[in-house]
Structure 1
Amino acid sequence: LAGVGTQTGLVTQIIYSGYVSGEFDWTLPTASLPVGAVFGVERREQDYERVSDTVYEEGQLLGQGGPSPSLYGAIDVNEVYGELQIPVLDNLNVSTAARWSDYSTTGSDTTYSIGVDYTLADTYKFRTSFAKVVRAPNVGELFAAQSIGLWSGADGCAGDPAAADAADRPTYSASQCANADVSASQYGSIGESPAGQYNQLSGGNPALQPEEGETLTIGVVASPFENFNFSVDYFKIEIEKVIGTVGAERILNNCAETGDEFFCNNVSRSPSGSLWLGQAGFVTNLSDNIGGRTWEGIDATAAYSIDLENASLKFDINGYYSMKKEVEPILGDATLAYDCAGNINTDCFASPKWRHTSNVSYIRDDWRVGAKWRYYGAIDYDGDADVSLVENGGIGSYSFIDLSGTYSYNEHVTFT
């Protein structure tokens, strides 16, 4: 038997906006330029619809795990905002901005920012900014249909404690499994899923709150001598109440190990204690405001050009150094936090601490030849699932070199 399932999505957004901008008819006594401003209002209406056909609606696809019903949701946002550009001195500017947003789903929030830049002798420009940021949950995160599906892993309470093979015994004790909704009579009689797949209830959560965060940047832009310029910027971004899912297996394991209601209230077993036979037993893994994220690093750029006889030579480099890429799966529980900067494992996508792109170009008349160098630093591996990564200790640094050349025959024809 074979079948085709189809889901169709449609997003409609309507935006009404208006603003006024200009300069005030006054200046600070210490500056020669007037204060500038922008004030505006905006309304956004967004509708999202996902239509499932009968195959999806009834959960007929192999591995689907359960029905995937159609989805509809809408969000309306009303906003008022303002920005000021304030010359304090002729070489010192302060910029401020604020925005009030009222969401039909999560209520109102206020965001703001302040920035300062100072120019020294037309050669160096120092800049810094601070902002409070908010991201409201989108339509899918709020209204995605809740349905039973499958997750891959293991139930640490499945198995027979008297089994001869240790691999067939439960990972957790009877008291730990009692935290995970396993009764004394069920312990030792719960079978493992032969496919390693178990039920989870996933989908949107209308009770979601906005993500909240703060950003800080400090940097310098400079042109210390002719044909050379560079910039260096430090940044730090901290986000709380990050919207995501804890993960069904993590919920199950943390419940057994800690007995914390935050996890254990999301474990619902069938009368037999199973999490995979039928759909009566499952782990609830809905979208939630679950954790925190911190990014900290340095962006750097530099460019230099040399004028030659009838030609020119240009160099540039753009680099990024990752100081921290920390993930806190459960907000407030530092014991679960991990740093992905320079690491790769089951929780971290490959993320080198240093990477850069550099270009060199030689230009003469209608000819141009160049080379691009893309470099990615070494990445450590602290897991045990990938044998090759274990043997090598991670991924070594690597480079890509791209060579190019162009010839402009005339203004209409160019060969590459």
Structure 2
Amino acid sequence: TFGDLREIPCYNANLSAQQYNALCGNWTGMGGSHAPNFATGADALAYIASLNGQIADGSIIDYMAPARSLKRNVEGGPRKYATKYQNMTFSVGLRGNINDDWRYDVSYQTSEVDYLEETQNDMSITKLLRAVNVVNVNGVPTCVSVLDGTDANCIPYNLFSGGLPGDGGIQAIWDSNPEMQTYIATPSFILGDSSETIFQAYLEGDTGLSLPGAPGSISAVFGIESRELESDYRPDVASQIPDGTGAGGPAVALAGGYDVDEYFLELGIPVTDSLNLEAGARFADFSTNNDTDAFKLGAFWQINDQVSLRGTFQTASRHGSITELYRGQGSNLTDLDPDPCGTDPETGIGPSATQEQCANTGLPAALYGSDLKSPADQYNILEGGNPNLVPEESESLTFGIVWSPEAVPGLTITLDYFDIEITDGIGTIPAATTLKRCLETGNPVFCNLIERDPIAGTLWVSPGQIITTNTNVSEQSLTGYDIIFSYPFETPLGVVDLKGISTITDSDTLIVIPGAAELECAGYYGAACGKNPTPEFAGNYSASLTRGDFDYVLGLRYLGETDDLGSTAIDFEAKTYLDFTVSYQYSDHLRFSLGASNIFDEDPVYTSGAGTAPGNGNTFPGYFDALGTYIFLNAKFEL
């Protein structure tokens, strides 16, 4: 029930005398007799109406006892989720020569993705509340919603019986009456679709212009690209409320889109026989009025037949996505350390923050040091899009050396250094950061984002929450090295090709909010570094053999270790995955592939800190191979 069951009627037919006294008998002003028995349903409804009248005239305070049930529905089986994607893409293009110097290329592409998500076997909050609102009619526990015609299918839920097999409690009810689970568990659905249309046209050729003394003329590419993007995300009513006890937060509808016209130019400029320059510019006109531009300047110097140097400096802008801009705002869950203003009921450890600091977060003095801890260590946040976002800006510098040793024909080794800086990063202020900065500084910029429950002072009982909607806030700097090699060679069995790329992340610093200290995230995950681990070393390597119409590819993926900066302090060990694929070229137009990823079924690393997205199942499916070995078969047809 995950705490969504918050009140129990004192007349509940399934309450024992002891339970009644604990929930109702010891409360001043609490009305309702213990499990009264009525001759008819009309008598029961008249009794409830009389209780409502007593509330109205002030005779009693209430007859619904405040009680938060945190029971899991283990008897009813696990929740199940099914996700389906259906993709359609159509593209057409035309290219040709205008003359000996100039060529044209025109293309059009449209694509659409349909999405379906179904949740099964999750308990309905609405039906759960009806199933515990039960009275005795001639000794038979009966739902009030059946008597008043609200829900003729309601089945009483005896929350107060034991749950072990054979004890006559909840487990026995489930085993003998599967209709109970059928009633309590209501499926929910989310439909969605997204579409993108792209038109592109460009010319490339020889300008006939050259620098003095240059061995050739300047080449150019210039053109236009027009894109239209739309997205629609349609949760059903049960998902939007949300009505599922395990939903975490409402699924918020999304509908939006934008279009953009882009104009680009690239130049290849020979300087000498061994030195070439390249330059480029791109200008984008968005329908959101957030126009962007990007520029590039690079050089390539062939020192000799074996060694070359290259370098590029470029600026870029990233416009917000449809989701970042237009996603509706709604509640969800985030993982936090225990509330620093409360006492942990499990350990008895008191607040780590002072009463004055906690007052900054909106906590009344009377609730300081009370039990504010979420049993699941998950707290409410308000998240969603922001149509006022401005584009991210970035500058990047790369330079490297390319070595093709004469002694090993075919071998090429490249070492590149990269330095990337991002400003006005689109993201959110993490809830943990907001809470920490409010406690430390009392700054309204942070404290106004914290809304405590006005009665209990908690951040995990609605309407308590921390606001984490999208904003332009962060700065990030990333430096490191890419080492790339390629070595194709002939053997009696066929052509062997060895390839690989190793990425060494030297530094990944993050400034979450302006004025905050830099946080090093290389080799870490968790806390303000987020749930996307950044190993200091990662690699992707392959060995392929081409023999006739067959290709055999053995791949190796390596993820270096990362340390947890969060409260769970569960570090991730290094992981190595092996993949294998066999492909057969049946004809010029048809190709078949059969393969397996993670062929040794390597388990992911699990952590209780994974929480909600991108965490799932106590791990990170987007980082680790969470489902083990994945076998695939596909066919590719080309006209």
With the length of structure 1 as denominator, give the TM-score of the two structures: 0.82
Give the deviation of 1:59 after TM superposition.
Answer: 1.6
For residues 324-367 of structure 1, the C-alpha deviation after alignment (integer angstroms, 9 at most, x for no partner) is 222332244125x12223x4555464444334455567889999
User: Equivalent residues in 2 for 1:8-23 (5 A)?
Assistant: 8-23=191-206
Is 1:83 paired with 2:278? no
Q: Give unmatched runs, 5+ long, in structure 1.
A: none
SS of the residue corresponding to residue 246 of structure 1 reads coil
AA aligned opposite 1:112? F
Work out whether residues 290 and 391 of structure 2, in 8 Å CA contact, stay in contact via their aligned partners in 1.
Answer: no
Q: Distance in 1 between matches of 2:594 and 2:357?
A: 70
**Contact 1:223 1:229 survives alignment (8 Å):** yes
Change (3 A) 1:328 1:364: same
Instruction: Kindly state the Cα deviation for residue 136 of structure 1 after the two structures are TM-superposed.
Output: 0.7
Q: Which amino acid aligns with 1:209?
A: V
In the alignment, what sits opposite 1:224?
405
Moved more, 100-109 or 212-221: 100-109
Q: Quick one: percent identity of the two aligned structures?
A: 30
Partner residue of 1:94 out of 255, 277, 300: 277
CA spacing shift, 1:382–1:306, aligned 2, 3 Å: same
Aligned to 2:522: 340
Gaps of 5+ in 2: 1-183, 596-639
Q: Secondary structure at the match of 1:176?
A: helix
2:299 corresponds, among 91, 96, 116, to 116
Q: Which amino acid aligns with 2:201?
A: G
Distance 1:402 1:289, change over 3 A: closer
Is this contact kept in 1: 2:339–2:372, CA < 8 A?
Answer: no
Whether contact under 8 Å (2:210, 2:216) holds in the other structure is yes
Total equivalences in the alignment: 405
1:24-39 to structure 2, matched below 5 A, reads 24-39=207-222
Q: Which position in structure 2 is the counterpart of 1:156?
A: 340
- Seen in structure 2, the aligned counterparts of structure 1 residues 75 and 28 have a Cα distance that, compared at 3 Å, is same
For residues 117-171 of structure 1, what are the alpha-carbon distances to aligned partners after superposition, in whole Å with 9 as ceiling and x for unaligned? 11123332211101101111111111111112333433222349xx99742x333
RMSD value over aligned CA atoms? 3.7
Give the conservation status (yes or no) of the 8 Å contact 1:156–1:172: yes
- 1:190 deviates by 6.6
- Tell me how far 1:368 sits from its aligned partner: 9.3
Other-structure match for 2:311: 128
**1:61: Cα distance to partner?**
1.4
Q: Note the C-alpha offset of 1:247.
A: 2.3
CA contact (8 A) 2:495 2:545 kept: yes
Q: In structure 2, the residue corresponding to 1:107 is in which secondary structure?
A: coil
Most deviating of 188-197 and 26-35: 188-197
Task: Select which of 418, 426, 429 maps to 1:235.
Answer: 418
| Corresponding residue for residue 180 of structure 1 | 361
Tell me the alpha carbon deviations over residues 172-193 of structure 1, each in whole angstroms, 9 at most, x when there is no partner: 2111012112233443557444
**Residues 45-60 of structure 1 mapped to structure 2, 5 A cutoff:** 45-60=228-243
Q: CA 1:414/1:196 → structure 2, altered by over 3 Å: closer, same or farther? A: closer
Written as runs of structure 1 = structure 2, the 5 A alignment for 1:386-397 is 386=569, 389=571, 395=573
Question: Could you tell me the TM-score, scaled by structure 2's length?
Answer: 0.56
The answer (yes or no) to whether the contact 2:451–2:459 under 8 Å persists in 1 is: no
In 1, Cα distance between equivalents of 2:593 and 2:228: 46
Structure 1 window deviating more from structure 2 (50-59 vs 132-141): it is: 50-59
Q: What amino acid is the match of 1:124? A: V
Q: CA deviation at 1:214?
A: 0.9
1:106/1:209 contact within 8 Å kept: no
1:267–1:284 Cα contact (<8 Å) kept: yes
Q: Is the deviation greater in 267-276 or in 257-266?
A: 267-276
1:208 to 389, 396, 403: 389
Residue 107 in structure 1 maps to residue 290 in structure 2: yes
| Residue of structure 2 aligned with 1:263, choices 446, 450, 470 | 446
Q: Which residues of 2 match residues 261-300 of structure 1 at below 5 A?
A: 261-272=444-455, 274-276=457-459, 279-300=462-483
Taking structure 1 as reference, are residues 309 and 175 closer, same or farther at Cα in structure 2, changes over 3 Å only? closer
Query: Do the aligned residues in 2 keep the contact of 1:56 with 1:68 (CA within 8 Å)?
Result: yes
**In 2 relative to 1, CA 164–372 (structure 1 residues): closer, same or farther, beyond 3 Å?**
closer
User: Residue 158 of structure 1 aligns to which amino acid in structure 2?
Assistant: G
Q: Equivalents in 1 of 2:491, 2:465: separation in Å?
A: 71
Distance 1:77 1:130 in 2: 25
For 2:334 and 2:222, how far apart are their aligned partners in 1?
49
Q: How far is the alpha carbon of 1:98 from its aligned partner?
A: 0.9
Q: Residues 383 and 138 (structure 1 numbering): CA distance in 2 closer, same or farther, change over 3 Å?
A: closer
Distance 1:77 1:273, change over 3 A: farther
For 1:186 and 1:29, locate their aligned partners in 2 and report how far apart those are by CA, in whole Å: 80
* Corresponding letter in the other structure for 2:379: Y
Secondary structure of 2:439's counterpart equals helix
In structure 2, the CA distance between the partners of 1:325 and 1:278, relative to structure 1 (3 Å rule), is: closer
How has the CA–CA distance of structure 1 residues 164 and 65 changed in structure 2, closer, same or farther, with 3 Å as cutoff? closer
C-alpha deviation, 1:414, in angstroms: 12
> 3-state SS of the aligned residue for 2:404?
strand
Q: 2:189 matched to 1:2? A: no
- Partners of 2:583 and 2:592 within 8 A in 1: no
> Are 2:272 and 1:72 aligned?
no
* Residue 140 of structure 1: aligned partner: 323
